[in-house]
Amino acid sequence: MLEIISRFFDKGQSQRDTGEPVIVTSEYHSLSPKMISRDARKVVEVLQDAGYQAYVVGGAVRDLLLGLKAKDFDVATDAKPAEVKSLFRRSRIIGRRFQIVHVQFSREIIEVTTFRSNENKSNDSRKNHRQQTDSGMLTRDNVFGSLTDDASRRDLTINAMYYDPGDNSIHDFADGLGDIEKRTIRIMGDPATRFREDPVRMLRVVRFAAKLGFTIEPRTGKPMHKLAADLEHVSPPRLFDETLKLFMSGQGLASFWLLHEYGLFERMVPQVGGMIKDTNGLSSKLIQQAFTNTDLRIRAEKRVTPAFIYAALLWPAVQKLAAHYRDRGNSAAYALSKASGEVIAKQISITAIPRRFTLPMREIWDLQLLLPRRGGHRAKRLAEHPRFRAAYDFVLLREQAGEELSGLGDWWTAYQDASEDMQEQMSRRVGDPGSNRKRRNRRKPKPSSTPE
Ligand code: ATP
Ligand code: MG
């Protein structure tokens, strides 16, 4: 396949200037209509039969060309959302900032997007359909356009290829095929302008580079460090969704390093940003190890939860703040609880972590304080805690990252494998660090200020 694609390189170079697509016919690429889901083919067919243009676009074309499985199929068309809706009984228009139509089938939903334009036609009636903030960010984007317009407002060249299953051709607007061959992530248009319009595109650059193992073209990467601060304009729910895509893609560690390189990670998790500058320090090691473990779990098709990942990402900040409150005479439990609450409150103003994840995060942290206190009847009770497993994994993670916990992880591993009699003996034998809780806990907390 790749040799064939390379025959288009020359054309690819010249097409960048004209904005016109190279139409790559079937003998020169590896796609075939049967790679496209039946439902997506049906949507394209119905639209084309009604006289509209329609293509499969975006991630599916990119992934199939790379020999990967397509996650889902998006269709782009010149039919307006209402026109699309009228052609499919089980369909609905969704979104406001960006209207699209969902066509429902029994096995999947096909997302149909009307061609958009990237042009700012500010003195015509379209003005209200496209809104921008002072920083250049798009807040509404419903100006419809031609196929060529649509291609130029897509994020990456490898995402701007349009496949027509009807005649088995690819309309390649910016040498996306060449970039697939060269394994390059290249943004469409002027990088700084495109990142200002939508700072999430910087995260998408990183995500696809990490996921596909591609290199970020230097021109694309150049303005990212400077524009990383623009992430603060992104709404917390959207930023949370994007962080999950980055962290739970199976390439979390690779994503982390790239985010770090471009100064993006520090913007996404600012409370630990300053603490991970030393990549060999305990804080950075803990985060690296959390991503390594998560990636392994995903590859083994084991369950992963954002609660565990965020618990690890924020743990260095929680520990630092808790130490500050302990230094001011508060009990360990009170200091931890106060620190946890404050760290989470700051983080959710950036990435809106839902409560169903912040609650288990706090439980995992609380249990870090309780798991060493395993004498007497405590061990049995702790092992029955609904969050025990996650908290135990978290202890192992801390030890793997190099924290010295006096063999705590091994003790709990042995405990879980032991018979009931053995478990009782183990609990009896262990000195109980919990017994020195006594008065310290009851000491009245001093009013305290937050450290820098
Ligand atoms: P995947 O679904 O595998 O994560 P994808 O490329 O399909 O990857 P989607 O988020 O489903 O990603 O978006 C579909 C297409 O819409 C993309 O391929 C791209 O062409 C375009 N797109 C998505 N987000 C943006 C954005 N922020 N700016 C410009 N174009 C975008
Ligand atoms: Mg997609």
49 a catalytic residue: no
Point out the catalytic residue in the list 72, 78, 149, 366: 72
Task: Give the rounded percent of residues in the chain with a pLDDT score beyond 90.
Answer: 75
* The predicted structure's pLDDT at residue 120: 52
**For the sheet containing 100-104, what is the strand order?**
22-24, 169-172, 161-164, 54-57, 74-77, 109-114, 100-104, 91-94
What ligand 1 atom has the least distance to the C-alpha of 74? 14
Question: Which of 62, 102, 111, 155 gets mutated to test ligand 1 (max ligand atoms within 8 A of its CB)?
Answer: 155
Q: Which tops the pLDDT comparison, 340 or 421? A: 340
Q: Is the pLDDT of residue 154 over 80?
A: yes
172 a catalytic residue: no
Task: List the structure tokens of 282.
Answer: 């305990």
H-helix or E-strand spanning residue 268: helix 265-268
* The predicted structure's pLDDT at residue 130: 59
Contact 1, 30 (CB under 8 A): yes
| 270 CB-contact burial (10 Å; exposed 0-12 / middle 13-18 / buried 19+) | middle
155 lines ligand 1 (CB under 6 A): yes
Residue with tokens 């960006």: 98
58 lines ligand 1 (CB under 6 A): yes
pLDDT digits (tens, 9 = 90+) for 166-199: 999 999 999 999 999 999 999 999 999 999 999 9
Q: Is the pLDDT of residue 89 over 90?
A: yes
Contact 317, 425 (CB under 8 A): no
Point out the catalytic residue in the list 39, 63, 74, 198: 74
Domains and CATH numbers, the chain: 2-182 (3.30.460.10), 265-429 (1.10.3090.10)
Among 26-30, 76-80, 333-337, name the one with the lowest average pLDDT.
Answer: 26-30
Phi (first) and psi of residue 237, to 5 degrees: -65, -40
74 lines ligand 1 (CB under 6 A): yes
155 a catalytic residue: yes
pLDDT digits (tens, 9 = 90+) for 280-321: 899 999 999 999 999 999 999 999 999 999 999 999 999 999
Return the bridge partners of 163, or none: 56, 170
Q: Quickly count: other Cβ atoms within 10 Å of residue 225's Cβ.
A: 13
Can you tell me the mean pLDDT for 395-410? 94
| 435 CB-contact burial (10 Å; exposed 0-12 / middle 13-18 / buried 19+) | exposed
Contact 220, 186 (CB under 8 A): yes
Mean pLDDT taken over the chain: 88
CA of 26 to the centre of ligand 1 (A): 24
200 lines ligand 1 (CB under 6 A): yes
Q: Is the pLDDT of residue 448 over 70?
A: no
242 lines ligand 1 (CB under 6 A): no
Going by alpha carbons, the residue nearest to atom 10 of ligand 1 is 59
**For the residues of 180-229, what is the DSSP string, one character each?**
HHHTEE-BSS-HHHHHHH-THHHHHHHHHHHHHTPEEPHHHHTTHHHHGG
Q: What is d(CA 404, CA 338) in angstroms, rounded to the nearest whole number?
A: 24
Point out the catalytic residue in the list 39, 63, 150, 155: 155
* The predicted structure's pLDDT at residue 12: 42
Going by alpha carbons, the residue nearest to atom 4 of ligand 1 is 59
What ligand 1 atom has the least distance to the C-alpha of 198? 27
398 lines ligand 1 (CB under 6 A): no
Going by alpha carbons, the residue nearest to atom 12 of ligand 1 is 59
Question: Which of 139, 159, 212 gets mutated to test ligand 1 (max ligand atoms within 8 A of its CB)?
Answer: 159
Is residue 431 very low, low, confident or very high in pLDDT (cuts 50, 70, 90)? Answer: low
Closest C-alpha among 194, 235, 210 to residue 96: 235
CA 384 → CA 199, 279, 387, 413, 416, distances in Å? 44, 36, 8, 14, 11
Contact 57, 86 (CB under 8 A): no
- Give this prediction's pTM: 0.88
71 lines ligand 1 (CB under 6 A): yes
* The predicted structure's pLDDT at residue 277: 87
Contact 198, 189 (CB under 8 A): no
Residue with tokens 């970020």: 216
Closest C-alpha among 166, 125, 145 to residue 80: 145
| Coil, helix or strand at residue 331 | coil
